[in-house]
């Protein structure tokens, strides 16, 4: 579970991260990251899992798995950054390890200088 201080809640924050942030696409996820310099706030993460992924049971499973993956990667994110993880339809059939590998690969690309 993500702490409340690390969750994106406002649609403006989601919009800003998606429109102004850098993007890395992988097989099961697209990761948007907006890193703001000089900000002392903790990194915040949001998730988008739409109906293209599957029924409610599948969407909730994918959301839980992605949330668990990102909870362990929070220390890797820069302070004050906004991250939005968008699940693609192929994430419904992906295992936890595959989702984690996709997120790690996308984060590695986005955190390069």
Domains located in the chain, CATH noted: 4-110 (3.30.230.10)
Q: Residues 17-33: what's their mean pLDDT? A: 97
Mean of pLDDT over the chain: 95
Query: What is the per-residue pLDDT for 40?
Result: 82
Q: Decide the pairing of beta strands 29-34 and 44-48.
A: unpaired
Q: Residues 46-60: what's their mean pLDDT? A: 97
C-alpha pair distances (Å), 27 with each of 22, 81, 94, 102: 17, 23, 9, 7
Residue with tokens 């992906």: 94
How far apart CA 16 and CA 96 sit, in angstroms, is 28
Supply the pTM of this predicted model: 0.92
In what helix (H) or strand (E) does residue 68 lie, and over which residues does it extend? Answer: helix 56-73
pLDDT band at residue 1 under the 50/70/90 scheme: confident
């Amino acid at each position: 579970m993500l702490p409340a201080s690390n969750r994106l809640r406002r649609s403006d924050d989601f919009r800003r991260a998606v429109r102004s942030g850098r993007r890395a696409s992988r097989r099961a996820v697209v990761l948007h990251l907006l890193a703001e310099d000089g900000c002392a706030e903790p990194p915040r993460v949001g998730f988008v899992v739409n109906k293209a992924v599957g029924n409610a049971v599948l969407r909730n499973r994918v959301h839980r798995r992605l949330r668990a993956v990102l909870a362990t990667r929070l220390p890797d994110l820069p302070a004050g950054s906004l991250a939005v993880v968008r699940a693609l339809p192929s994430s419904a059939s992906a295992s936890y390890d595959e989702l984690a590998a996709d997120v790690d690969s996308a984060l590695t690309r986005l955190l390069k200088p």
